[in-house]
């Protein structure tokens, strides 16, 4: 059904694997549409509680497809609002875990940063090398990278185009968990399974609350959190979660 990605469901986890090995998973228009379509389908499924987004061992994704972009003009990009479609991925409510192996450059780094939890190893290479092409990041990199690692490192990366390995990226706050190379995918799946085992409603709201920290002031964010916290007391999962604790048993959440 898809040409540039593979999809499968493992338990309650939807897995999307970028699959353009000859182009190091460069993100052309078709790949963007397929990733967003697959993720949207998983997001809508009551059977899926978390999504894993993965690439290959050599490259999570080596960026937007330079060959596809090379001939674009200002007006053609403006008319099609080039890459705005990716915004749909960040609007999805199901938590996304990125298994980031190898190169995550340009749009690849930006795609990883659209995920909620990033798993990488010391061999993962993050970078925003657009400056070497005479452009700048265009899928949110100048904004999300700066929020993740701060101005000092973001400026360094965006202005010089240098790569940051997984160790530095974890230290800087870009990576959630630094693991052995071979463990990136298994651990990403394990994290996704753990998330998918929780109350789906609570995990979606938790994602919204953490994301609110990026979008608003502290006072507004804390108010959003408090009201959302209050609202969870209207759910069956809160009753079940707390009853299970009191009765010393595992909670049986509704997953919807
Ligand atoms: N686009 C298209 N093709 C690519 C890309 C890419 N981003 N990256 C690699 N490829 C292709 C190569 O052209 C090559 O194809 P072929 O065999 O047909 O020549 C194949 O993948 C293998 O690549 P290499 O031979 O170069 O492999 P190496 O192991 O020697 O090098 C690198 C790996 C270092 C990752 C190297 O491929 C590289 O530097 N790639 C480009 C990285 C880059 O500059 N990324 C940023 C792209 S720009 C961007 O992402 C902007 C995002 C926002 C745009 C928003 C617009 C509005």
Q: Is the pLDDT of residue 186 over 80?
A: yes
* CA of 98 relative to ligand 1 center, distance in Å: 20
Average pLDDT over residues 185-189: 98
Structure confidence at residue 121 as a pLDDT band (50, 70, 90): very high
Domain 5-197 and domain 200-247 have a common topology: no
Q: Would you call 215 a catalytic residue per the annotation?
A: no
Known catalytic membership, residue 138: no
Sheet containing 59-61: which strands, arranged edge to edge? 59-61, 103-105, 125-127, 163-165
Is residue 113 pLDDT above 70, yes or no? yes
Average pLDDT over residues 228-248: 97
Is 170 marked active-site?
no
Calculate mean pLDDT across residues 26-40: 97
pLDDT level of residue 50 (50, 70, 90 thresholds): very high
Q: Which CATH number fits domain 200-247: 3.40.190.10, 1.10.645.10, 1.10.12.10, 3.40.50.620?
A: 1.10.12.10
Q: What is the mean pLDDT of residues 78-107?
A: 96
Please give the ipTM for the structure prediction. Answer: 0.95
Work out the mean pLDDT of the chain and round it to a whole number: 97
Active site residue 168: no
> Residue 140: pLDDT above 70?
yes
Q: Report how far ligand 1's centroid is from the alpha carbon of 103 (Å).
A: 10
Pick the catalytic residue: 130, 141, 166, 170? 130
> What integer pLDDT is reported at residue 1 of this predicted model?
87
Q: Can you give the residue ranges of every domain in the chain?
A: 5-197, 200-247
Q: Which CATH architecture describes the domain 5-197?
A: Alpha-Beta Complex (3.90)
Name residues contacting ligand 1 (CB within 6 A). Answer: 23-24, 26, 62-67, 77, 82-83, 103, 105-107, 129-130, 133, 137-139
**pLDDT of 82 above 90:** no
Taking residues 20-44, report their average pLDDT: 97
Of ligand 1's listed atoms, the one at least distance from the Cα of 106 is 50
The predicted pLDDT at position 256 comes to 63
pLDDT tens digits, 192-223? 999 999 999 999 999 999 999 999 999 999 99
Q: What is the DSSP letter of 95?
A: -
- 13-18: strand order across its sheet: 5-10, 13-18, 50-54, 96-100, 117-120, 177-178
> Band of the pLDDT at 42, cuts 50, 70, 90?
very high
Pairing verdict, β 59-61 and 96-100 = unpaired
pTM (predicted TM-score): 0.96
């Amino acid at each position: 059904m898809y040409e540039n990605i593979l999809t499968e469901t493992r338990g309650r986890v939807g897995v999307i694997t970028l699959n353009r090995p000859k182009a190091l998973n460069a993100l052309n228009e078709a790949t963007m549409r397929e990733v967003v379509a697959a993720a949207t389908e998983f997001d809508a499924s009551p059977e899926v509680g978390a999504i894993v987004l993965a690439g290959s061992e050599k490259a999570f994704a080596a960026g937007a497809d330079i060959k596809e972009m090379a001939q674009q003009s200002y007006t053609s990009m403006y008319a099609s609002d080039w890459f705005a479609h990716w915004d749909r991925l960040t609007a999805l409510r199901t938590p996304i875990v990125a298994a980031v192996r190898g190169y995550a450059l340009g749009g690849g780094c930006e795609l990883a940063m659209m995920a909620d939890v990033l798993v990488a190893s010391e061999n993962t290479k993050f970078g925003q090398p657009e400056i070497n092409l005479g452009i700048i990041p265009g899928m949110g990199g100048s904004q999300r990278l700066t929020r993740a690692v701060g101005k000092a490192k973001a400026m360094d990366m965006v202005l010089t185009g240098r790569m940051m390995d997984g160790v530095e990226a974890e230290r800087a706050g870009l990576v959630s968990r630094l693991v052995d190379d071979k463990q990136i995918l298994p651990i990403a799946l394990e994290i996704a399974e753990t998330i998918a085992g929780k109350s789906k409603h609570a995990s979606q709201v938790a994602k919204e609350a953490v994301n609110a920290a990026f979008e608003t002031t502290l006072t507004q964010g804390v108010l959003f959190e408090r009201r959302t916290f209050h609202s969870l007391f209207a759910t069956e999962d809160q009753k079940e979660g707390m009853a299970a604790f009191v009765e010393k048993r595992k909670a049986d959440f509704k997953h919807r």
